[in-house]
Amino acid sequence: MSGDTEGAVMAENEGKKALTRREFVVGMGGAGVGAVLGGIFVHGILLPDEIVALPASEGYLLVDTKKCAACQTCMLSCSLAHEGETSLSLSRIQVVSDPFAGYPEGPQQNQCRQCPYPACVEACPTGANHVDAANGNVRTIDASKCIGCERCIQACPFTPSRVEWNFEEKHSQKCDLCSNTPYWDQKGGPGGKQACVELCPLKAIAFTNEIPIQGDKGYFVNLRKGDATWLAFGFPDGDNAEYLSAPAAQAGEGTQ
Amino acid sequence: MGTRISIAITVVVIVALGVVMAVSAAVIVPMNAGDTSRTYDVLFNSRGWLVLAAAALGLLAGAFTRRPTVRIEDGIVERHDGVAIFEHWLHVVAVLLLLGSGIALGFLFIPRLVTGAHNTGVALNLHWVGVVLFAFSGVYYATNTVLSGRLKEHLAGLEDINVGIAHYRAQLAKSEPPAEGKFYASERIAYVYMLVALGLVALTGVVKLLAYGINMPAGLMGVVTPLHDVGALLVALFLIAHVLMGAVVPWSWPELRSMVTGKLPLEYVQQHHKAWYDELMGSPARSKENQ
């Protein structure tokens, strides 16, 4: 007796042919091919293109390059709060320093802008890079869902990319405004504290809940205005409108 | 032989097309016209359906495949039919693509060898090529092996542990080896190992593939990804042992040749696969197809 006869799954009444195991598998395979081809047709032709609207982040980091001394404390605190180690390579905020550039172009703080239309989120094929509704719509990455394709790193329109590669755990990472800091016992996120803001010795990083006004060089930020330490050294606290904090710029302060 | 060469050329062409597709899809392009954001095509995302189609095609092809019984002609035993040879070497190509790209991308304690989005894209897309090939070859193999009733000749029993030990003890002592079947006891034990390892990789791989289209729970993905990696490591370890014992050591060379030609001398079968030889001699070889 052949295997197929033994494996007959449906013995019909006399005069009708029994369905063999092999015929059953042929049917399953044919149904599978049909389902895949049908799915492509429905998805590709009948369904309209997907349109997604993402809510704006409820928090943003502001950096004032004119106050930055490139001490990298922000980088170390970021890495320590998130990864439990002081590694410049694991920081989500990046300070780049050009010793040959004149003031104030030397040190550049490169923080995630929490973009209203985040290309990094759009580029992620698995939803790992997402808008976290539970944490004030901050743009963040779920490491367990990251497949390491680096599309989000490439998609970030800024240089250097505000999404970095975590070479130790092999996934992308980005600023989450400290909403998930396993090694820092403070409430973070848009409604809490941020390690870099708290620890910057020159107060060159600040936090705001309002969407900052953005120009070619970044946000219009002036964190020197009203800073007693800054003024005590006799440094100028105002220049042109390019470097105003968002609320000040909106109020028309400091413009020349 | 002409059919086999045609199949081999077809496989080479398909793999070459896959590689070209993988590399060209990984070219970095603007996300939208005039955009400063750049991206590339992840084939798992845009062509994931091809994996499912390949598996369904494997099911169909496996169901239509008829396996011949063992033939003995002019003192030569056909140990592997054309289907077995095709399946084996297709598995080889697919697994090498999968392991090679997987190692390049880094997993568990293995560091990532590729840097930059383009190189990462090439590795990831080559992994997709391997998955498509393996989805076909794996399902095709499983289907025709079960339907032709050949699964039992591969599966190990508890007694195979003692036979396997006796085999290598005899080899070291240069004494009479135990009577082995068509497949050595150690091969059958390795088969069970590979069923577990590949089963783990395949099941977790399916979940990882579905994650491109369905928003999977983070906890599930946090378990599935390391399990996939552990399975891949088990497969890699097997591959090293398999190549060493099946291709490098001189006493396995006749068996390696049979994985290309399908044939083994009858004297060799009598000497190394005594139980199988007795079985063949006891029941006259038939050339008619086994249903």
Tens of pLDDT, residues B237-267: 999 999 998 889 888 899 899 999 889 999 9
Residue A189: predicted pLDDT:
94
pLDDT digits (tens, 9 = 90+) for A172-197: 999 999 999 999 999 999 999 999 99
Residue B242: predicted pLDDT:
93
Which ipTM score applies to this complex?
0.83
Nearest chain A CA: its distance from B262 CA (Å): 25
Residue A249: predicted pLDDT:
43
Residue A232: predicted pLDDT:
82
Task: Give B-chain residues touching A157 at CB under 8 angstroms.
Answer: 35-37
Interface test with B, best of A36, A117, A129 (most B CBs within 10 A): A36
Average pLDDT over residues A106-133: 93
Q: What is the pLDDT confidence band of residue B2, given thresholds at 50, 70 and 90?
A: confident
Average pLDDT over residues B275-291: 63
Domains belonging to chain B, first-starting first, are 2-289 (1.20.950.20)
The residue of chain A with its CA nearest to that of B215 is A127
CA distances from residue B181 to A245, B13, B79, B254, B287 in whole angstroms, order as listed = 81, 36, 11, 16, 20
Task: Give B-chain residues touching A155 at CB under 8 angstroms.
Answer: 31, 37-39
Cβ–Cβ gap B218/A127 under 8 Å: no
Model confidence at A253: pLDDT above 50? no
Interface test with A, best of B37, B59, B206, B223 (most A CBs within 10 A): B37
Residue B24: predicted pLDDT:
97
Nearest chain A CA: its distance from B57 CA (Å): 6
What pTM, to 2 d.p., does this model score?
0.86
Task: Give A-chain residues touching B62 at CB under 8 angstroms.
Answer: 25, 29
pLDDT digits (tens, 9 = 90+) for B79-109: 898 899 999 999 999 999 999 999 999 999 9
Q: What is the pLDDT confidence band of residue A15, given thresholds at 50, 70 and 90?
A: low
User: Per this entry, what is the length of chain B?
Assistant: 291
Model confidence at A240: pLDDT above 60? no
For residue A160, whether the previous peptide bond is cis, meaning omega lies within 30 degrees of 0, is yes
Cβ–Cβ gap A147/B62 under 8 Å: no
Pick from A180, A111, A110: which is nearest to A144 by CA? A180
Residue B176: predicted pLDDT:
80
b/e per residue, B38-69, with b = 16+ CB within 10 A?
bbbbbbbbebbbbbbbbbbbbbbbbbebebee
| Of the listed ranges A9-23, B14-28, B219-233, the one predicted with least confidence | A9-23
Nearest neighbour of B117 by CB, restricted to A3, A147, A151: A151
Cβ contacts from A onto B, under 8 A: 120
Task: Identify which of A5-19, A49-63, B220-234 has the greatest average pLDDT.
Answer: B220-234
Q: Does B34 touch chain A (CB under 8 A)?
A: no
Q: Does B150 touch chain A (CB under 8 A)?
A: no
Contact of B38 with B29, CB cutoff 8 Å: yes
Nearest neighbour of A167 by CB, restricted to B39, B112, B116: B112
Model confidence at B202: pLDDT above 80? yes
Q: Does B31 touch chain A (CB under 8 A)?
A: yes
Residue B45: predicted pLDDT:
93
Model confidence at A247: pLDDT above 80? no
Cβ–Cβ gap B35/A157 under 8 Å: yes
Nearest chain B CA: its distance from A204 CA (Å): 28
Model confidence at A255: pLDDT above 70? no
Cβ–Cβ gap B37/A35 under 8 Å: no
Average pLDDT over residues B255-282: 89
Interface test with A, best of B60, B69, B128, B141 (most A CBs within 10 A): B60
Q: What is the pLDDT confidence band of residue B284, given thresholds at 50, 70 and 90?
A: very low
Task: Give B-chain residues touching A153 at CB under 8 angstroms.
Answer: 117
Pick from B3, B75, B65: which is nearest to B285 by CA? B75
Residue A245: predicted pLDDT:
47
DSSP of A50-90: P----PPPS-EEEE-TTT-----HHHHHHHHHHHSS--GGG
CA A174/CA B154 separation, integer angstroms: 50
CA A53/CA A61 separation, integer angstroms: 23
Nearest neighbour of B60 by CB, restricted to A29, A147, A157: A29
Q: What is the pLDDT confidence band of residue A2, given thresholds at 50, 70 and 90?
A: very low
| Of the listed ranges A206-215, B106-115, B124-133, B269-278, the one predicted with least confidence | A206-215
CA A221/CA A67 separation, integer angstroms: 11
DSSP of A128-195: -EEEEGGGTTEEEE-GGG-----HHHHH-SSSS-SEEEETTTTEEEE--TTSS-TT--S--STTS--H
Average pLDDT over residues B30-36: 85
Residue B282: predicted pLDDT:
82
Tokens of A196: 């870099």
